[in-house]
Structure 1
């Protein structure tokens, strides 16, 4: 029997990990003849459709940075009426997106509510502060939800330690990648210039200055090396001014998906020393393209990068260690190709979006069966 699923979340044309996750799962639900509505808050228009997915948009009053949208209070009644008319089997919140999620306790009284908190477990002042604020909000709004989905084992274990007093079902379902689209090149030769890539929001939590420091050390040892940084964000102009003239460094800004895939396939290595990450879709995409990855040993990133198998895990502030591991990979052809093969294989086996969607639907059915709905 088809499901009616309502997503309260960020959504394209916004660009980001949450947006990608919800879009990919929604597409697969629609292909399976399920009825999907996305309820969002952005500046794209009142109502629009993307790939058969109907999106109801409640124009925002303001936004915090480019990240969090504040819904117009007088549109909240419209939102609740639209939800009631749709009468979903599942209402699924992807946190943290917009102030509509503050209505979760109210919706829990009437609907089966699932919640995926994309909480970035972090390092340093920024990472720890974000964690504490996120958990405090989650405790207030999600206690009576039917289903809690964590994108990594690490996040699941960490949330359990935070005494959420969550009484529903808990499942671990990761982010994913379209492994048919994000593929390695037919042949990747390890020759100069070596290309190192990064994809992510150009913001403080992505730790771009440490990537630049490591890159300069790598270039000192290996010579011809390029660093390609893809993404937009509040610090892009500042970093362009500060680092844009460094030889070999390229800030691409926002890059369309086809161009992003092209660059990843041309790259040799992916570096991602983020200070706060629930898991990291960019890492999964890079691995699916057969790139060895160097990433922070915090948050959900160790669920993607297995130290010494498909890359290396590091302290995100240790530019020397990042550089040493990069040189180790790029100067050893056997190790490089071994890690490249392992990265692709691990991504296909664990993070394909079709498998992620199947797990998500199974989790929905579990809570509906418990309530005797299906």
Structure 2
């Protein structure tokens, strides 16, 4: 097999990380494993394995014929047999299929707002997906929705997987006191629900003012990020909550942290949670998307209802006050991630499925 991953950008997001993870993992498993970024490069560029052939299309608009023909040339040159299109790059994969009918196309649906699927547009997907051999989804809700709403027959649930980082030069130094840091790896998007995190931070400050929150994720400099910064000022959290923007040295950041959180109101299967497990962090997360399937409440972390400030706060207090519990949760979550969300097992299932397309 000769498989090409396509992703719109190389910004530090979950679907972008997975496109790279697949390309890197497959390079030693199949004849050809390549990667194409369509619209924008970004900090994840350094994470691509040197053995993975890479092309940046610099696509400027929805229908960019120059970019399309550059992609076609790359596909023909490398004798690509399968196109694995991630998220919104499915449209470009569809156009390529029209030009090069023999190539097999796969769509990887990373849709993060799985709690709000009823709002998701269907028309374009229903028109285009019949030209795809199959669809991969990152949680069971998406699988059910694809089968029932889009009438897709060949839908495969595959969990995301995390891999240890390679060749990262950044050395982020977190503020606050050692042993008293709480980290959140989440881009500044509304679905990540930072308002819950800031409400919890305001509440925690009253009793544990020496514990600090560290928000790592892309700042889009939009109304949402400006609102977050306003809340930090309004709540008097300037010395308790710190923003770092997008960073690549995840291992280094997590090693400086004692607790890791996700306050999302909707998710697919966040790669950040798998990274928390990979680096043995005690976690508190919300019960959305696939997260409750990974974090078993009271066994390898705490799971609370989305927007429940009181329960989220109490879960953090329980971890703050019990170092042994933090250690136990971290070790147990690591075992969960290594056992059920390891790259080797996911890639094996993936290749078995692709072979049958």
TM-score range, shorter chain: 0.7 to 0.9
8 A contact 1:176–1:353 mirrored in 2: yes
The equivalent of 2:338 in structure 1 is: 348
8 A contact 1:179–1:348 mirrored in 2: no
The equivalent of 2:137 in structure 1 is: 150
CA shift, 1:118, in A, is: 0.6
TM-score, length basis structure 1 = 0.80
8 A contact 2:163–2:343 mirrored in 1: yes
The equivalent of 1:372 in structure 2 is: none
CA shift, 1:27, in A, is: 1.4
The equivalent of 1:270 in structure 2 is: 260
Instruction: Select which of 290, 295, 314 maps to 1:300.
Output: 290
8 A contact 1:59–1:72 mirrored in 2: no
Secondary structure of the residue aligned to 1:159 is: helix
* Cα RMSD after superposing both structures: 3.0
CA shift, 1:132, in A, is: 1.2
8 A contact 1:297–1:314 mirrored in 2: yes
In 2: Cα distance, 1:318 partner to 1:140 partner: 40
In 1: Cα distance, 2:105 partner to 2:93 partner: 11
Query: 1:115/1:321 Cα in 2 relative to 1: closer, same or farther (>3 Å)?
Result: same
The equivalent of 1:227 in structure 2 is: 213
Instruction: Select which of 170, 174, 198 maps to 2:159.
Output: 174
CA shift, 1:254, in A, is: 1.7
Secondary structure of the residue aligned to 2:53 is: strand
Offset from partner CA, 1:121-168 (integer Å, 9 cap, x none): 444xxx457x512x4443222124222222223432343332x22233
8 A contact 2:146–2:152 mirrored in 1: no
The equivalent of 1:10 in structure 2 is: 8
The equivalent of 1:106 in structure 2 is: 98
Report how many aligned residue pairs link the two structures.
Answer: 338
CA shift, 1:174, in A, is: 1.0
Offset from partner CA, 1:298-341 (integer Å, 9 cap, x none): 22222322222222222222222211221123223443332222
CA shift, 1:42, in A, is: 2.5
2:48 paired with 1:56: no
Offset from partner CA, 1:160-198 (integer Å, 9 cap, x none): 332x22233x322111112588xxxxxxxxx98522110
CA shift, 1:343, in A, is: 0.9
In 2: Cα distance, 1:290 partner to 1:53 partner: 29
Instruction: Select which of 32, 35, 42 maps to 2:39.
Output: 42
The worse-fitting range, judged by mean Cα deviation, of 73-82 and 25-34 is 73-82
**1:1-374 map, 5 Å:** 3-10=1-8, 12=10, 14-32=11-29, 34-44=31-41, 51-61=50-60, 70=62, 72-97=64-89, 99-103=91-95, 106=98, 109-123=101-115, 127-128=116-117, 132-133=120-121, 135-162=122-149, 164-168=150-154, 170-178=155-163, 194-234=180-220, 235-243=224-232, 246=237, 247-257=239-249, 260-367=250-357
Offset from partner CA, 1:225-251 (integer Å, 9 cap, x none): 110110113244553354166131111
CA shift, 1:44, in A, is: 4.1
Unaligned runs of 5+ in 1: 63-69, 182-190, 368-374
Unaligned runs of 5+ in 2: 167-176
8 A contact 2:85–2:108 mirrored in 1: yes
Query: 1:210/1:128 Cα in 2 relative to 1: closer, same or farther (>3 Å)?
Result: farther
TM-score, length basis structure 2 = 0.83
Secondary structure of the residue aligned to 1:61 is: coil
